[in-house]
Amino acid sequence: MPSLTKPVGHLIARLRIASGTRDCCSGDDLVSGGERFTEGGYKISGFVKGTIWGPPPIKQTFDFGFASGDLTFIAGIILDVVPSVSATAGKRNDTCTPESCFYGNATIALSFEPQATVKVLAILNTFGGSYTLADIVVTPAKIIIPIQGQLGWNTKESCGAGFNGNAGIGTVQFQAVFKIAGYGVNFTRDIWGGATLSF
């Protein structure tokens, strides 16, 4: 019976701390290091993959005496999710304006990629090692849907930016792939240009 497989994935988290200064003008006077900022940032990125419909992988082993072979057949509807989440917060000081404020920004991007895929992998095992005889991937239909959003308050360059943000869907693409041993044909076409709402 078709089943939902346990999703697999890999996520990477990065922490960043930075500070800096630059000169600014107060009237006709140049103030060295008059603008200063200190900020910290955090980012998570990676991928998650799972089969949302399809039979378990079918594996068959053949023994020829002097050698053996493994044939693996995988088919189903697979969903890839590529997330990226980042956030930055800091404080800006400008002795030339003068002004001082906190600022922050948070961004999220998700790419949903449902696809119908068939994979066939054949391996020959001998005394000399293992050899891949066939590595076939057929993806007749794949849709890539990128979603992104951003929310912020002021910026590192200005305390007057206030509240700002946007959300939207990027260009939606259709893909079809046929590969043998890593080589093949990849067809891609944009099916919708996307839309963004700013506020």
pLDDT, tens digit (0-9, with 9 covering 90-100), for 65-86: 667 777 787 788 888 999 999 9
Predicted confidence band at 180 (pLDDT cuts at 50, 70, 90)? confident
Cα 101 from chain centre: 32
Is 188 part of any domain?
yes
Q: From CA 99, how far away is CA 24, in angstroms rounded? A: 12
In a domain, 171, yes or no: yes
Assess if residue 125 is contained within a domain: yes
Three-state secondary-structure class, residue 93: strand
Q: Which helix (H) or strand (E) holds 121?
A: strand 99-126
The pLDDT of residue 1 is 40
CA dihedral sign of residues 179, 183, 185, 187? positive
Q: Read off the tokens for 131.
A: 């050899």
d(C-alpha 152, C-alpha 107), whole Å: 9
Closest CA to 114 of 178, 185, 173, 195: 173
Asked if the model's pLDDT at residue 5 lies above 70, the reply is: no
Whether residue 24 is contained in a domain is answered as: no
Q: What is the C-alpha to C-alpha distance for residues 18 and 23, in angstroms, rounded to an integer?
A: 18
- Is residue 174 assigned to a domain? yes
- Domains contained in the chain, number: 1
2 assigned to some structural domain: no
102 domain-assigned: yes
- 146-157: pLDDT as tens digits: 999 999 999 988
Could you tell me the pLDDT band of residue 109, with boundaries at 50, 70 and 90? very high
pTM for the whole structure: 0.72
- The mean predicted confidence, pLDDT, of the chain is 86
**With contact defined as beta carbons under 8 Å apart, do 169 and 194 qualify?**
yes
Residue-range definition of the domain harbouring residue 118: 8-18+33-198
Residue 56 lies in a domain: yes
Q: Which of 139, 136, 86, 87 is nearest to 115 (CA)?
A: 139
